[in-house]
Structure 1
Amino acid sequence: MTRVYNFSAGPSALPTAVLERARDELLDWHGTGMSIMEMSHRSKDYVAIAERAESDLRELLSIPAGYKVLFLQGGASAQFAAIPMNLLRDKTTVAYVNTGIWSKKAIAEAKKYARVQIAASGEPNNFCAIPPRAAWTVDADAAYLHYTSNETIGGVEFQDIPDAGGLPLVSDMSSNILSRPLDVGRFGLVYAGAQKNMGPAGIAVVILREDLIGEPMAATPSILDYRQQADNGSMLNTPPTYPWYLLGLVLEWLKEQGGLAAIEAVNVRKSAKLYAAIDRSPFYSNPVDPACRSRMNVPFRIANTELEKTFLAEARAAGLVNLEGHRSVGGFRASIYNAMPEAGVDSLIGFMGEFERKYG
């Protein structure tokens, strides 16, 4: 079997060591004679797995006291609705920063429950830049301020945590959580689907300040009620047990790499060399403002769009797969999350250079 370099934006590549360990433990987990997939979520063994995952996540992110960690179903998209349902309380307005497609999806869902104020928007610049914080207009009476820390499709990433102006700060971090250290204490709530940078599809993580738990809208389904989920240890119903286990293995792998500061250094090197290869070539281009280019998702184009199918076909033959840009924008996209080894980025850069020599 030959493994390829998988540049998929999600579900994305997992660390090889994690997959190998999961393979070895698949049929008989630690002498129990059964798979994790067959194990009751209420069993002593599984509860220990879940508790270890939470402990490791708290350690990696240095989550301060006074925060709950929830492991939930429905991906980040379910949280688009759960957040206003839980955090609106006696307010009528919520504030959102619009930096691309995933921001738009969160905004559209929030509009079902509250008046959404667009505090800032990158739309005038075709979502290739983030408006400076000084240009934002944030309603001081809003229930919270929401932003998407990394736009997977457009390749725009916040490099710093924005000032929330005294409001609870909420962030969708699905595609860059665990890629760098994070000051969790500056947030009211952080949420992320696992399938991009911390595990397989099927589970999402919500980290929220305890004073924000409670007082959900009356129509909030029990499964979206943060108080009920927190009181039941994220096991109000049967959780996605195997994705939770795999997420835990990814967290252990991250600790083995040296933690988030160490993985950030690798991510900086990977993205810097790929952007440098794009920028020094007249054949390739990236439209994003260098000040907010994503380390995780690198969109790029070639001058002659008629060569796109040839590029993808030859890349696949070279073991470089899932480089297609999102269907809404076209072009190419290399997603280089934590699990993408530096050798994979080097291989892509080498291929791009050879393709330019052949067709440029």
Structure 2
Amino acid sequence: MTVKQDVSVAGKLSTLDRLLPVWIAAAMVTGLLAGRWIPGLGGVLNAVSVDGISLPIAVGLLVMMYPVLAKVRYDRLSTVTADRRLLWPSLVLNWLVGPALMFALAWLLLPELPEYRTGLIIVGLARCIAMVIIWNDLACGDREAAAVLVALNSVFQVVMFGVLGWFYLSVLPGWLGLARTGLSVSGWQIAKSVLIFLGIPLVAGYLTRRFGERVKGRRWYESRFLSKIGPVALYGLLFTIVVLFALQGAQITSRPLDVARIALPLLVYFGLMWAGSYALGRAVGLSYERTTTLAFTAAGNNFELAIAVAIATFGATSGQALAGVVGPLIEVPVLVALVYVSLAFRRRFAAATPA
């Protein structure tokens, strides 16, 4: 694609798409300021919760994920499940490399801050099943592959989260002569989070495509219907960011040095996981789309689950909960930047990869 064509395509994007980083930054600032300066806002937003998550955040996540999952061509999922070059690296990156890397960074960079260290380890255990779908779609990754990998992460999350929490907070520190921490979380609590935040939009997206194509045909569904609901995902993303940051605005802005300490290992973690996964995808011969999906599903984390577990185990005002909250504060801008890095690599990657 020539530069002239790139400019032409960019010119056809909506204002929302072209200026997405600006809107995300504005949403973060708006949420932080609102949480800091509007008395009682946090109490109002937390008045009703869904599986330990504020109802407005839950609604925002569901609205954000539904349009993307409605775009998935479910009749092509078999091409993903048959691709072992994608599935095995994803499992290894998500359930071996990711938690181990976060454990190492937390102990190396926060050795004297046990609460924040524990909170970061919990973040590392919570593999992404929600917002990663948006990042993958913005970076033009493989939607079908993202749906399969997110579903796979969901199953492993239900089975392995508690086991890995016990291992990384109690067993491994004991072997290394480090301080140990307990974690109280049930498999049912994790399963509920998966069923609500992935199951509902996944079923809705599948049924929408199935009945939409049956009644009006695939051409109408993809050219007319999806173009109408597409922007809803980004509106849901911006709404979720505003509410999330509003809930913790006072805590974040009143402890800037603590936030900076927590942010450092997170920055290193997101950068290493994304770059390493991208390099691995290219090394094993994956296409740009599937390499991008591998990188974002490995780098993202399920901040909803991490925050809920930290609050349930250690309390809403604990350092562990603050570490969970700082997670999306760092993840959102970093992964938005990586979307643009990925798109910049796209032409070079396509030129070097056989069709």
> Which band: TM-score by shorter chain?
under 0.3
**Bigger proportion of residues as strand:** 1
Q: Which has the higher contact order (CA 8 A, sep 6+)?
A: 2
TM-score normalised by structure 1 residue count: 0.25
TM-score normalised by structure 2 residue count: 0.25
**Bigger proportion of residues as helix:** 2
